[in-house]
């Protein structure tokens, strides 16, 4: 396996690990009645299994040779993720203070979707563009649904974002498997 294939496989494993964990978290956001609650638990379990498989891919990649780090890319990645957490956290606090807590999942979903755009060049993964667009669309759908119906925004955003992140994580594992 070439160094580029090795790095690509490791990066796919990391994507599956991280997004599998975050999909699990998103599936826990909605307060749902049965049978949807059971489906969310199953989806959460599938996301967790995906994350564990991603961790195994990373661990096996680590043992295959030294990992060259691009410190500038690592720094950009860290800054993007810190900005994401800061924006989501501060926005959530503001929404809670003004009494709009039910819209926190919408804000966080939008921030998560937007953070994928600056990650495209850092991670050299053009598939993050459609993921970002789709997650932002789910956030908007959650907002609209909550404004025009009795369906909570968190149900739409949590379920939709969880499914998108899980699908991307599974796709990353399939990419890693092709790199063998």
Distance between CA atoms of 87 and 177, rounded to whole angstroms?
35
- Count of structural domains, the chain: 1
**pLDDT at 2 exceeding the cut of 70:** no
Distance between CA atoms of 23 and 62, rounded to whole angstroms?
24
**pLDDT at 88 exceeding the cut of 80:** yes
Would you state the pLDDT for residue 113? 98
Least confident of 24-33, 96-105, 124-133: 24-33
Contact by Cβ (8 Å): 54, 17: yes
Neighbours of 17 (CB within 10 A): 23
Distance between CA atoms of 166 and 44, rounded to whole angstroms?
9
Count CA atoms within 13 Å of residue 31 on its CB side. 3
Q: What is the DSSP string of 95-125?
A: HHHTT-GGGHHHHHHHHHHHHHHHHHHHHT-
Distance between CA atoms of 166 and 22, rounded to whole angstroms?
9
pLDDT in tens, 143-173: 999 999 999 999 999 999 999 999 999 999 9
Would you state the pLDDT for residue 31? 84
Q: Which domain holds residue 69?
A: 3-178
């Amino acid at each position: 396996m070439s160094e580029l294939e090795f790095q690509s496989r490791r990066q796919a494993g990391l994507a599956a690990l991280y997004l599998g964990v975050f999909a699990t978290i998103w599936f826990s956001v909605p307060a749902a009645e049965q049978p949807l609650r059971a489906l969310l638990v199953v989806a959460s379990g599938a996301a967790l299994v995906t994350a564990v498989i991603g961790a195994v891919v990373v661990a096996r990649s680590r043992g295959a040779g030294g990992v060259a780090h691009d410190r500038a890319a690592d720094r950009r990645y860290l800054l993007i993720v810190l900005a994401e957490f800061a924006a989501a956290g501060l926005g959530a606090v503001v929404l809670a203070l003004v009494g709009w807590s039910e819209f926190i999942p919408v804000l966080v979903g939008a921030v998560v979707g937007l953070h994928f755009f600056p990650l495209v060049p850092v991670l050299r993964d053009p598939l993050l563009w459609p993921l970002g667009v789709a997650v932002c669309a789910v956030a908007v759908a959650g907002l609209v649904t909550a404004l025009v119906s009795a369906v909570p925004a968190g149900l739409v955003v949590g379920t939709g974002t969880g499914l998108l992140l899980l699908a991307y994580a599974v796709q990353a594992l399939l990419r890693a498997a092709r790199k063998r």
